[in-house]
Each structure stands twice: as C-alpha cells, then as structure tokens.
Structure 1
Amino acid sequence: MKVHVDEDRCCGAGSCVLRAPEVFDQRDEDGIVVLLDAAPPADRHAAVREAADVCPASAIEVRGDA
C-alpha cells in the first residue's frame, strides 16, 4: 500500500488522525494533514482505508494492497 495526501485539499477535520494516528498527524499551526508513513504495514491498511473513506475533502489517496 502506498498513501498520498493532497495538503491543498485538506480541510483540517482530523478524521484521518482519529482513524490512523500512526500514519497521519496534523500541523499545529493550521491542522493540515501530515503523512507520517507513506507505506504503512499491513496491520494498518484497514485503518488507512477507513481514514481515506471518511476524509471530507477526499485528500487521501490509497494505492495498491502491499
């Protein structure tokens, strides 16, 4: 799995951080998403996919399974 975030689309809702805090964080100054792990391990894939699904700005793209 490869994860990509579009910081320009991010609205700072923080849903991704709540679902997968090991993979996503937010900048303190504006709440914009920070990608901590662009290739998370398999045990985090479900949480990352859920984070992408609930992102209100569709700022998270997930590619592949491994």
Structure 2
Amino acid sequence: METRKKRRAVVNGDACVACGCCVKVCPLSAIQVRHGVRAAVDPKRCVGCGKCAKECPASVIIIQEVPV
C-alpha cells in the first residue's frame, strides 16, 4: 500500500529574521512570528501551497512532503 503524503512549509528557525513577509501571504494564517524572533508554521493549518516560500526574502522556508 502506498503511503499518502502531504506538503508542509518548514522554516529554518536559525536563519529566519522574523520579517513577517510569509505571514502576510499565507492564505490560511498558518504562519506566525513568535516573540518577534522567528516564524513558526502551524502544521494543522498549513496545506503546503508554497506562497510563503516564494515570498521569503531570506529563502529560509521550504516545502516538504510529510507522511499523513
């Protein structure tokens, strides 16, 4: 049986500068900048559309496949 996978955004927290660009473009409000330090993705809300990764000026967001 083939394992289904979903796509999710993953932030490299060590390199994130908390600019908030990803927060503005996320259609599902799945990303928040926590404590003004780094962006964090809510995996329950993220659908892996990739808008945040395209918008990130530091290129620290990637879209990964994760098992369901």
Q: TM-score, normalised by structure 1?
A: 0.69
Return the alpha-carbon distance in structure 1 between the equivalents of residues 40 and 46 of structure 2.
Answer: 14
Larger helix share, 1 or 2: 1
Runs of 4+ residues deviating >6 angstroms: none
Gaps of 5+ in 2: 1-6
- Which has more strand, going by share of residues? 2
In terms of Rg, which structure is larger?
2
Distance 1:37 1:23, change over 3 A: same
TM-score in terms of structure 2 length: 0.67
Identity of aligned residues (%): 22
Q: 1:40 is matched with which residue?
A: 46
What CA distance in whole angstroms lies between the structure 1 residues aligned with 2:24 and 2:37?
Answer: 13
How far apart in 2 are the matches of 1:2 and 1:38? 9
CA RMSD in angstroms comes to 2.4
